[in-house]
Structure 1
Amino acid sequence: MTLATSVNFILSSLTVLAQILVIWLVLSWLFSWPLPKVLRSRATLLAFIVATIATLGSLTYSDILGYEPCKLCWFQRIFMYPQVLILGFAVFGKHKGSRALFDVSFVMAIVGAVIAFYHYLMQNGIVPEGSCAAIGYSASCAQRFVMNFDYITIPLMATSAFLLIIVALRISKKDV
């Protein structure tokens, strides 16, 4: 088993787990099911962990495995990478529990999720590639480096991470 295969399997499995969590949390919210107290009290920490894993996964793909990010990947990175610092400050920093940090992170996650989902639709031919052809050293936005479980690509990994951050912050916001 190569490093790329192992990384792809681990990150794809975490993506499925994130999707299950998002569905469960959204259903809990819609049907007013009680959430475990430990989840409610640690939702911001969950968002921080998700952002950290997503950032490390992204850096592993580009800097260790050599996958060149496309233009849309860079935009997704712009909205994910700062989440580690913002949520880190929200969880561990001097401004622990700051409403402003939650709001900034929440908006960044929404924008990132929209870009990532659009990218996923583009990779699957649902929307046209448009002006996202390869630029210089970057890959084409339509290029798939990963396809696991017959549906998981890197943009779907990002979409799932952003959605889990959004849902976790929504849970946290009740306590701010």
Structure 2
Amino acid sequence: MELIRRNVLYLAWLVAVVATLGSLYFSEIRGFIPCELCWYQRILMYPLSVILGIAAFYDEHAIRKYVLPLSILGMLVSSFHYMEQKIPGFAAIKPCTKGVPCSGQYINWWGFVTIPFLALTAFTIITVLLLVFKKR
């Protein structure tokens, strides 16, 4: 546990970088066109890759107050997006108006893992790391 506590910023940064590279892989290599909610999730995740990287390099744990709002908001957007995909009738509440529908599922691994689920997982891991493993 002490190892995680000492490296919490690096671990959170690694999660943000993997999520960022994963989203770029899906859009730029696989050719999946992001929907409106995917763009919002990217807007919240991409800065975390930079902010957490700088914070980890300088061992600046005060960065939590800037990162947590982004990661918690990202969790909310990802949860909403995932519900649009998985709960019948939920997408009718706020349909995407242009481009790719937010209820579409480019991937559906094991019947539940979609791109918003992956984003939700990344935002949740970052949030938990920063809340649970505070530097003493």
User: Of 155, 173, 176, which aligns to 2:116?
Assistant: 155
- Unmatched segments (≥5 aa) in structure 2: none
Structure 1 length as normaliser, TM-score?
Answer: 0.72
Q: Which amino acid aligns with 2:34?
A: P
The number of aligned residues is 135
Q: Write out aligned runs for 1:26-105 (5 A).
A: 36-93=1-58, 96-99=59-62, 101-105=63-67
Equivalent-residue separation in structure 1 for 2:92 and 2:12 (angstroms) = 31
Q: Write out aligned runs for 1:98-113 (5 A).
A: 98-99=61-62, 101-113=63-75
Which digits, 9 at most, give the CA deviation of each residue in 1:119-138, with x for residues without a partner?
00000125233333351xx3
Structure 2 length as normaliser, TM-score?
Answer: 0.92
Counterpart contact for 2:15–2:125, Cα < 8 Å: yes
Give the corresponding residue for 1:128: 91
Counterpart contact for 2:35–2:101, Cα < 8 Å: yes
Counterpart contact for 2:9–2:61, Cα < 8 Å: no
Equivalent-residue separation in structure 2 for 1:129 and 1:67 (angstroms) = 23
Which digits, 9 at most, give the CA deviation of each residue in 1:64-104, with x for residues without a partner?
111000000000001000000110111014xx3141x2111
Report how far residue 167 of structure 1 moved.
Answer: 0.5
- Unmatched segments (≥5 aa) in structure 1: 1-35
What SS is found at the alignment partner of 1:105?
helix
Equivalent-residue separation in structure 1 for 2:113 and 2:39 (angstroms) = 19
Larger radius of gyration: 1
Equivalent-residue separation in structure 1 for 2:92 and 2:102 (angstroms) = 7
Question: Identity over the aligned pairs, expressed in percent?
Answer: 34
CA RMSD of aligned residues (A): 1.4
